[in-house]
Structure 1
Amino acid sequence: MAELNRTGLYDLHVELGAKMVPFAGYDMPVQYPLGVMKEHLHCRAAAGLFDVSHMGQVILRPKSSDLADAALALETLVPVSVLGLKEGRQRYAFFTNDEGGILDDLMVANRGEHLFLVVNAACKAADIAHLKKHLSDTCDITEITDRALLALQGPQAEAVLADLAPGVAEMRFMDVAVLSSDFGDLWVSRSGYTGEDGFEISVANANAERFARALLVHDAVEPIGLGARDSLRLEAGLCLYGNDIDTATSPVEAALTWGIQKVRRTGGERAGGFPGAERILDELDNGTRRLRVGLRPEGRAPMRAGTQLFASEDAAQAIGEVTSGAFGPSIEGPMSMGYVTSEHAATGTTIYGEVRGKRLPATIAALPFRPSTYKR
């Protein structure tokens, strides 16, 4: 087994009593003594601090010094309008392959002189190689390895972070800014992976532990591990790469069409021009054979990833499969996401999951399971 990487906050996690587990090549905290359920509810009620330093941070700088060149170059790899992204703003994007599947999902920010990308930990080496292979003629591509990445999420996140960087109070959902602080420049986005208002903060490695401690000193803040991060994002209806989206799944099947702006669609002035465009544009116009949906199983037991889904209690052929499932502490019941054939994807439809040899009912539910509380 390959030796696991550690983030700069590893020693702090151990000090705080975290249970450490392998995740995407890193030794990461899955939970702290508070426990997954209480961590989840604390994040919803106050503020949770997450170490997401395992994720990739990348700067894309145009060789021409015209940011539009970098934006248009990146548009050859994503079906998203990067050119239309205003300075100080970020948006969700996804790299697609020639078959129209998703190589990774990511965040793209316009920082004025360059684009700042945050990519998934398990995909970051492949993503950076992909960028270098296709964009090196027009852009300088730099992986940032000397900065940690933390997420502060929850209704009290603004009040806590404003003590250290007052400018965050002026930010709205999906704003980005570089703010000065006693911990050096903080690269801040008002975004996250929980459905809560909150921030992701890039801070110099040398200052990361001191910064984390300055946040944790607040009574409102508890450290949160991967366990609660998963149930929080699932309640928010957010995809986990490798579970809910992958190289065979198109953005249209994944119900991510809101992330494909009109200008990149059929008839738009910059339509197509990205890998897999033929399939993706066709599916946008004509629909797909299957769709990602939310599921609310009856009873208390979650339907976990891999659960086969059927149209009836005695149907011979499966109509789909669960890709993520857990108990939702905030909604006080089980929740799942998965794919079903499009004719069974309407909200309110009853289908059946096969759990330990029994067909149990579940209802197709609108996503997110719990309304998001972003500051717009």
Structure 2
Amino acid sequence: MSAAASPTAPLLRTPLHPLHVELGARMVPFAGYDMPVQYPAGILAEHRHTRSAAGLFDVSHMGQVRLVGADAATALETLVPMDIVDLPLNKQRYALFTNDAGGILDDLMVTRREDDLFLIVNAACKAQDIAHLQAGVGQRCTVEPLPQRALLALQGPLAVVALSRLNPDVAKLTFMTGGFFKLEEAECYVTRSGYTGEDGFE
């Protein structure tokens, strides 16, 4: 069991933790983090708003990892049964870590950026996934976890309308593509992706 998942370890906090508390979120333990489970309006209202307009989720507890090096794509293909070498620039692909027998260890998202492969792994398996990467490809490329980075998911049919208020160019993204955008004063890497069944950005 990883330290993040240990019942005796102190709960970790995302970079947005103070804001959640300030806004009155009910905080609960999840995957080793103190996470907001709902706001004062309630879960049902939040669900309906996400389905009819858009909802913003703090998913910073998930693992963000850069693979850096000329051999990174070829190396990653030894751990996932997907074509990473020919993944176009700023395209994203859903992938699976497999064991030696071909069984699934975990799923992840892989994006090819100009200087790296950018991976998002699940929160509950984050420590194991990073260790798996370091053991499997760490001799061929640099495995760089990004634990201090925030990660947000904006999901819902009006997500593009909401995000376009900060930068209209995000509307040019198609599903499973990404790019660097300035949102207010923050330089962000934005992908048009998500797991809600609605349009969305991460």
The reply to whether TM is greater than 0.5 is yes
Q: Where does residue 60 of structure 1 map in the other structure?
A: 67
- Between 1 and 2, higher relative CO (CA 8 Å, sep ≥ 6) is seen in 2
Specify every segment of 5 or more residues in structure 1 that has no aligned partner in the other structure, as ranges.
201-376
Q: Distance in 2 between matches of 1:43 and 1:8?
A: 23
Equivalence for 1:84 = 86
TM-score, scaled relative to structure 2:
0.92
Alignment of 1:182-197 (within 5 A): 182-197=184-199
Structure 2 residue runs without a partner (length 5+): 1-7
User: In structure 2, how many angstroms separate the alpha carbons of the residues matched to 1:140 and 1:105?
Assistant: 20
Equivalents in 1 of 2:147, 2:18: separation in Å? 18
**Residue type at the aligned position of 1:35:** G
- Give the equivalent residue in structure 2 for 1:293: none
Q: Distance in 1 between matches of 2:164 and 2:34?
A: 30
Matched, 1:44 2:46: no
* Separation in structure 2 between the aligned mates of residue 161 and residue 151 of structure 1, nearest angstrom: 11
Q: Hey, what does 2:17 align to over in structure 1?
A: 10
CA offsets 1:210-233 (integer angstroms, 9 cap, x no match) = xxxxxxxxxxxxxxxxxxxxxxxx
Q: Percent of counterpart pairs with the same letter?
A: 61
Deviations 1:181-207 (A, max 9, x none): 33321110100121110100xxxxxxx
2:158 aligns with one of 153, 156, 159:
156
**Displaced runs of 4+ in structure 1, greater than 4 A?**
none
TM-score (norm 1): 0.50
Matches within 5 A, 1:347-366: none
The alpha-carbon deviation at position 18 of structure 1 amounts to 1.4
Deviation at 1:126, TM superposition (A): 1.2
Q: Using the TM superposition, give the Cα deviation of residue 84 of structure 1 relative to its aligned residue in structure 2, in angstroms.
A: 2.4
* Structure 1 residues 42 and 181: CA distance shift in structure 2, 3 A: closer
Residue identity matched to 1:10: H
Aligned to 2:128: 126
Q: Which residue of 1 aligns with 2:4?
A: none
SS at match of 2:125: helix
Which of 31, 34, 57 is matched with 2:41 structurally? Answer: 34
Cα distance, 1:165 vs structure 2? 2.1
- Maintained 8 Å contact 2:77/2:84: yes
Separation in structure 1 between the aligned mates of residue 163 and residue 51 of structure 2, nearest angstrom: 16
Structure with greater Cα Rg: 1
Paired residue for 1:217? none
Number of aligned residues: 195
Contact 2:15 2:148 (C-alpha < 8 Å) held by counterparts: no
Distance in 2, Cα, partners of 1:4 & 1:165: 35
Instruction: Name the counterpart of 2:142.
Output: 140
SS of the aligned residue for 1:168 comes to helix
